[in-house]
Amino acid sequence: MTTTRTTRTTRTTRRMSFALLLTLLTALLAMGAAAPAQAETYYRYWAEWVGTNGTWNFATVSPDASIPADGDVSGWRFEIAGESGAARTPRIAPDFAAICGSTAPVAGSKRVALVIDYGVPADAPEGSTPPEPEVGCTVTPPNANALQVLATLGSERLDKTLLCGIDGYPATGCGDVVPGATPPPTFEPTLPVPVAAASTTPTDTTSTTGSSFPVVPLVIALIVLVLALLAFRISRKSRG
């Protein structure tokens, strides 16, 4: 009799313990479902890209350590992006032939195409309007980094090695947090290469022996001066 009561008590205790554990587990799951998800943090910044073989690749090093190779496309895109989301590529395809095809190679230098995408109005700081995308072809020393390549065609606003603005856009801010930003679009149409690419004049930064000083006119002027002095001396001797 005592054994039967003890068995029943043990079973009842187990059932109550199991019910209590099930209730606690249900409550914990409900609390987890009701807890608000942590908001994504978004930033507004210039993202660097490297175009190789017609494909954009996100630069994994700082721009002062990023060395575009001859035939590469150096791309910059101004945008709003989250910590967990992927940055958006420039909307112009990295077409080196279309941008630099008319620029002849220079011995001891490299040709790097440049694409600057100022982003869409949704990416712009309040009161700013993004300029139209630009392209150009640069001729630089082989060891020129991404910032040096960019500097041949546009002005830079930097915070140490962080690019804050290109040609004055944006005028202020640098990698700022954007409160209340929404996820950017996952697809954007590709834009054609601007016609201005054909008229872009590259800068050869490798030449250190050339001179813009008018050497030939100077030589002629010196010869004329020497002849005038000789004529003056001969004239004085003949008078004496």
Question: So what's the pLDDT on residue 21?
Answer: 47
pLDDT at 84: 74
Tens of each residue's pLDDT in the chain, 240 residues: 555 555 555 555 556 555 554 554 455 445 444 444 567 899 999 999 999 999 999 999 999 999 999 999 999 999 999 887 678 999 999 999 999 999 999 999 999 999 999 999 999 999 999 999 999 999 999 999 999 999 999 999 999 999 999 999 999 999 999 998 888 887 899 999 986 444 334 444 433 333 333 444 554 555 545 455 655 565 555 555
52 Cβ contact list (under 8 Å, min separation 6): 69, 72, 73, 94
Domain boundaries in the chain?
Answer: 42-199
pLDDT given for residue 185 in this prediction: 82
* Residue-level pLDDT at 201: 41
Using a 10 angstrom Cβ sphere, with 0-12 exposed, 13-18 middle and 19 or more buried, the burial of residue 195 is exposed
The CA distance from 159 to 43, in Å, is 16
- Say how far residue 70 (Cα) sits from the centre of its chain: 18
Closest CA to 78 of 148, 129, 152: 129
What is the reported pLDDT for 234?
Answer: 55
Question: Would you list the DSSP string of 42-93?
Answer: EEEEEEEEEEETTEEEE--S-TTT--PPTT-EEEEEEEEEESSSPPPPPSB-
Residue among 143, 179, 4, 140 at smallest CA distance from 64: 143
